[in-house]
Structure 1
Amino acid sequence: MKNKVLVVDDNPKNLQVVAALLAENDYLFEVALNGKSALKWLEKTKFDAILLDVMMPEMDGFATCKTIKADPENCNIPIIFLTASHDIENITQGFANGGVDYITKPFNQSELLVRLNTHIELKKSREKILDLNGWLQSEIQKKTEEITEANNNLKVAYNELKKLDDAKTDFLNTISHELRTPLNGIVGSINLLNSFDHEPHIKEILSLLNTSVSKLEKYSYTALQISNLQLKGESQLALQPIDILPIIKATIHTLKLQYTEKCLEASASCACTEAIVNIDQQLFRNALTALLECSIIYTNNGNIKVETNCQYGVIHISITDDGSLYSDKDFKHFFQSVKNQNYQFERNNAIELYLAKIVFLLHKGNIEFNNKEDGKGTITVISLPLAKANIK
């Protein structure tokens, strides 16, 4: 089936050029001269991607993008901005409103086609994962109901469920590998392009591409971790008694480059001399790193503080930042499922928070997400039980 693209531009000549390029490359397409016309198209037609001009009268590209992303029926369509501006603020505003990429005018035709194809393929890959995940969950539910009704062959039923679980894990591993294969190709191409001299705006594009690919790769790995933990639960943990204070300090140090690049200050303080906890060291590091990276991502200036104290057999790890707030204090809507239909760039929807939640709950601990009382940042508190030998 041919991919269908909506092209939105108030300049008829630009529309003609893009439409001719898409037609030559076997795409189906529709055109709109303004944002309102684009929204009308979306009411009656499904598209695989949208090429959206930024500067348009009445309703500019940013407002159009924001409206599209607010619609659950269309929020997953990748939107690529077409802009004559090289201004970083405009580019940032485009990503903040839900865009996945941007191309500056006059554009290179080959570059436009490569980016368009990449985002369409990534969208389809995500949809396949979600569809198959839903199908597998449905199959597991059917098998569970059969066990309840029959109640005479539990061992056989358990083995069947195990096979489905293994099949799901194998599938997600395969999908993760398949996603990384094209990503590696993109990374290699970017590295090759970086070996040549380019104009400053081309360097900016390459930098943005490299950042986007890194985020996609990280998302794939994190999603796979979540799936494995959901399927195998505590059996996935390799628990051993470890003093976690050095791990906390080492994790902060590992992220030094990330927070210094944003001119952020990070500090750690501890009211304990020792905190022995039965943990899976790698998963603990991954979860703590995920939370700190989330603070770094959503903090543009200010401080990130990590404070620990031990009380009544429990260690409390508090991560405080001056970043953007959680839009809702009730996180149940997010933590019920990875299949979250809201893909807006909001802190509540960071998959890192979901991974950390699962990890600390499996360790018999808890995690709380709150905004500061002064409304200038957030506080994340992790609580874990100390090993019995460490309780005084």
Structure 2
Amino acid sequence: MFICKPKTPKILIVDDQQKNIQVLGSLLKDQNYIIGVATDGQKAVDTLKKTKDFDLILLDVNMPVMDGFEACLEIRKIEHLKKIPVIFLTAMTEENQIIKGFEVGGQDYVTKPFNARELLQRVKTHLELKQSQDQLKNVNTWLEDEIKSRTLEVKDANQKLQQANKELETLDIAKNEFLTIISHEINTPLNGIMGFINVLKDKLKSSELIEFVNLLDVSANRLLSFSKLSLRITELRTSNQFLKGVNIPLKEILGILKIKVDKMLRAKNQQLFINENQPDTYIHGDPQLILYCLDNILENAIKHSHENTNITINIENTEDKIICSIIDEGDGFSDYALANLYKLFASGKEHVDNNKGLGLALVKLIIDVHNADITVINNKTKGATVKLTFQNKKQTITS
């Protein structure tokens, strides 16, 4: 597998005060980070030119020889360091100094004396964002390498040219869809991150600062989770092997979802009802993908339903089918949306959702690899129903 287990992050502390280095080093080592040290900006630049091991820089502003602003400018001139996260450590709170830090290439700042929990949260946020970006880069590289490999196979096996060309075409289409999905889902949280950073610049002394930082963390985690999910879907689309699923207890999945959306429901004073005609219903498939499908549909049903309404999940277990219906009491889909439900970024054009149809497009991909069906209709009175129909294989469930 081309995505390896993430390595332990390595952080460079740049500060001319030994006491600060000791405090920061102890704090970061307690979080199992690997630490490097430089006592002025020039030494930091010299160290970073010699290695590509570091994942983040904690950079003091006021230092002899070369201050933090000058050092950051020099660091950004080094090709492999153009995107490394830089967090300034500063005792200065003047707005023009803070803005200068962002202008020279810093991603964030922490004022001295710093709060340990705040510092660790900012470090964690920027490390996770960097990790997700690195993994996405690896995904793209892997896809390009895979295409080259397939092309060589075609050249070396003329007797299988037709089949090889078909596989290559499938892979190329899947790659384009995958990159389109990834591009959209990267831009959405990253735009949020940049927006929050701009707010932070204007409200540096606001008590809401930690809340904005938490939102940055949510966006970065969303980015990482979505990249893994999209990769799984791409593997399924490009693989010649049949999906190797397991028997998934639907009651368990719905229990997880009920807990997950509880906050959303309470925020709009909505009620979720789950009706199942049999206590033990199992779906055969990939648990992570099935959970994503139901979560996506349920969250959108909640989002697009009015306050003080009900969301209903009906489970029907027949001889040959398992049908899961999510019913809301919202405004439903427009005619345009219903005609373009599974096209990437199309179905949201005239629908209340600004998601541009990406969610249902992904749900459709997942349902297809499970040899299942999805049906979306507007209810006669109000709201919409999304119905997922799976084959009832009635396999023996083992503990």
Q: What is the TM-score normalised by the length of structure 2?
A: 0.48
Higher relative CO (Cα under 8 Å, sequence separation at least 6) belongs to 1
In our comparison, the structure showing a higher alpha carbon Rg is: 2
Q: What is the TM-score normalised by the length of structure 1?
A: 0.48
